[in-house]
Structure 1
Amino acid sequence: MDSSLEFSRQKEDLVRTVRSLQVASQNTLQKAVPLLSSQPGLGLLKLSHVQQLSQKTTQVCRDLEDVGNLLLFRKDELAQKMTVPGTGGSSSLQWCSDGSLYVCGDNGPYVHLLNSHGRPSQAFYCCDDGLFLPDGVTMTRFGTIAVTDIAEGVVRIYSPNSQPPWIKVGGNFKSPRGIAVDGSGRFLVAEYAAGSVQAFYVDRAYRVHGGKKVSGLRGPQQICATPEGGFAVSEECGDVKLFTSNLKPSGSLSEKYRHTFGNPAGICADPEGNILVADVQKRNVTLFPPTGSSICIVSKGLCKPEGITCSPFGLLYVADSGENCVKVYKYRARPYYSVTSPRRSGEASSPTAMS
């Protein structure tokens, strides 16, 4: 459905709901008048009248949230297309605070660094005992990068002062794919074959401690930390599961938003708490706000969206492995300037934002 037609429909629904609420309020007020007199009893007011008003109020609040989200977010606004070196596809991204971008996937034994203008600036050669293909990439709290190697079943951290520069950490994993680091510096690794997520810390000596594990997932692919300290993980041909900071299940996006996924893959969260999911089968990207309904912010122009990441300046980066490129979208109407008050819009724009 065209976005303008969809927005018009939602406005019409909102007007109808407000009018229904007005009628229900007037009826309830009229029946509550006897309560204001000295006569005993509840007059003509019944519990069903109050419940009806409560339901109308709840619905109009939902509609207001949906309209507010439509004003906050843009749809299908492609700003830039970055070509990734190599001949294969790209499936994992990591945005950096200086506007640069790490890219890896099936485009060879490299992790490519693109500058804020989308041009290649550095390539990290993936070799220790032999060549390996990195599947997922993330940034550690020490400012270096870590990758997963699904073929060998290991996690590696890049250390430029070591020989070889890629150091294995955490022992063996069962088909590690997605990798992320949360706000406390804890590693989160999605094990595809095992259907689990391993969480652990790595110190400066590359020693692992505080390991914990979540099981019972169905083909976990990508994973991302959420602002409240938990994490979200996408399941192949399934769902996106949510977990708290202590690794307890807290529901799923399909249940919360009544959304049907095809093949959810790339996933990321912005400082506002919005969770964005790339669906390979449906070839789109959907945003799930903290309140309100989900919004499809990229509905066309994607071939095989596998990895995504976003910046706090309203930019969404999509690794389209079908075209071996990274597509950059403006997904927020106005960039916010404070992660402590994310719903307030600021005038400041990103130094890498494109007009």
Structure 2
Amino acid sequence: MDGSLEYSRHKEDLVRTVRSLQVASQNTLQKAVPLLSSQPGLGLLKPSHVQQLSKKTTQVCRDLEDVGNLLLFRQDELTQKVTIPGKGGASSVHWCSDGSLYVCGDNGPYIHVLNSHGKPTQAFHCRDDVLFLPECVTMTRSGAVAVTDIAEGILRIYSPNSYPPWIRVGGHFKSPKGVAVDSSGRVLVAQYTCGEVQAFHVDRGHRIHGVKKASGLRGPQYICPTPDGGFAVSEECGDVKLFSANLKLSGSLSVTYQHEFGNPAGICADPEGNILVADAQKRNITLFPPSGSPICIVSHGVCKPAGITCSPFGLLYVADSGDNCVKVYKYRAKPYYTPTSPHRSGEALA
């Protein structure tokens, strides 16, 4: 009971503080706007006063953004732990709109499909001429499973009507690791040793065209599309780079947020533009909002976080390769929107 009363007092204090700021700013605007519109000068107000007010306002706005984010997000709220069958592993995970998960790892030649309740429903055997170990998994625009094979330097797409069902796409790549599909349907492949991302379209005949490259990276690992049409890439050497839709470098999380990474691995972005990064060395997951300071949403409980993905229901799925499982966290207080689709099964893991 005492705890509930304390929380209530804190809420009242916060509401009172925000309301005071709102009232004070409205009063100032009501006084200032008519004067600034009619009189030629600033009266007794000096430029130094304006500069000081500007600096304080900027800091207050940042503090308010941080308050809003801290109210919205959650930390270490584990809702489920899904163990992957013995032959498989968990280093890459992809969430689909029907609530299912596609999981793979370098412990076995399988892609495991889990339903919205975390139960295995299907397994794709990774074999064409020989067995291969999938490095990373994603879904193409047409709904086909695509995986990278870093050992053979190949991108494969699963086609159940073909024999063998795994079709090699695009010839040879240089150590393909992360793979994703952007908002335009292009396949993005992070090539680890040569430090570049290759972007291209795949037609129905599994031929690639429109190949473009983004270079200058240092050990690119995982890759994810961003809501603005671009993509983000994690670098093993300690940074996350942002690229625009035309493959031009547009930013760096370490520079923009003054954040020090250890070994950034899995990465994903949600519909609001928040970028989530798993740090395999620090064993945590940090959220980078479009406005405000970074927030650590998973601070403990993961052995070696690798691939991550999130859903519109405010759930984060972490492939923990050190624990051979997928851990599900609720990192938002509310979903981004209320889905009208009948496929609401993704909520079952909450």
For normalisation by structure 2, the TM-score amounts to 0.88
1:320 corresponds to: 320
- CA offsets, 1:201-228, max 9 Å, x none? 0011111100000111000000000011
Aligned to 1:333: 333
Cα distance change on mapping 1:46 and 1:160 into 2, 3 Å: same
2:251 corresponds to = 251
Alignment check: 8 A CA contact 1:193 1:219 kept:
yes
The residue aligned with 1:310 is: 310
Gaps (5+ residues) in structure 2? 1-5
Q: What is the match of residue 136 of structure 2?
A: 136
The structure with higher relative contact order (CA 8 Å, sep 6+) is: 2
Partner of 2:195: 195
Q: What is aligned with 1:280?
A: 280
2: CA distance, partners of 1:164 / 1:258: 48
Conserved 8 A contact 2:65-2:291: yes
- Counterpart for residue 93 of structure 1: 93
Question: Hey, what's the Cα distance between the residues in 2 that align with 1:137 and 1:37?
Answer: 63
Paired with 2:85 and 2:225, the residues of 1 have a C-alpha distance of: 28
The 1:88–1:206 alpha-carbon spacing in structure 2 relative to 1, beyond 3 Å, is closer
- Structure 1 residue matching 2:61: 3-state secondary structure: helix
Tell me the distance in 2 between the aligned counterparts of 1:287 and 1:310. Answer: 12
User: Which structure 1 residue ranges, 5 or more long, are not aligned?
Assistant: 340-347
- Tell me the amino acid that sits aligned with residue 263 of structure 1: N
Alignment correspondent of 1:344? none
Other-structure match for 1:68: 68
1:352 corresponds to = 347
**Partner amino acid, structure 1, of 2:165:** P
Superposition deviation, residue 61 in structure 1:
1.0
Deviation track 1:261-320 (CA, whole Å, cap 9, x = no partner) reads 000000001111111000000100101111111100000101000110011110000001
Aligned residues: percent identity? 73
SS in 1 for 2:53: helix
Task: Check conservation: 1:222, 1:266, Cα contact below 8 A.
Answer: yes
Which residue of structure 2 lines up, in the alignment, with residue 222 of structure 1? 222
CA RMSD of aligned residues (A): 2.8
Instruction: Tell me, yes or no, if structure 1 residue 270 matches structure 2 residue 270.
Output: yes
Question: Does structure 1 conserve the Cα–Cα contact (< 8 Å) formed by 2:116 and 2:349?
Answer: no
What's 2:102 paired with? 102
Secondary structure at 2:348 match in 1: coil
* Aligned AA (1:249): L
| Matched residue SS, 1:133 | coil
Aligned to 2:123: 123
- The Cα shift of 1:41 comes to 5.3
Aligned to 2:165: 165
Deviations 1:133-156 (A, max 9, x none): 000100001111100000000100
Which SS does the other structure have where 1:265 is aligned? strand
Q: Tell me the TM-score normalised to structure 1 length.
A: 0.86
Mapping for residues 172-211 of structure 1, pairs under 5 Å: 172-211=172-211
| Contact 2:134–2:147 (8 Å) recurs in 1 | yes
Note closer, same or farther for the CA distance 1:53–1:171 as it changes in structure 2 (3 Å cut).
Answer: same
Deviations 1:113-152 (A, max 9, x none): 1111111111111111211100010000111110000000
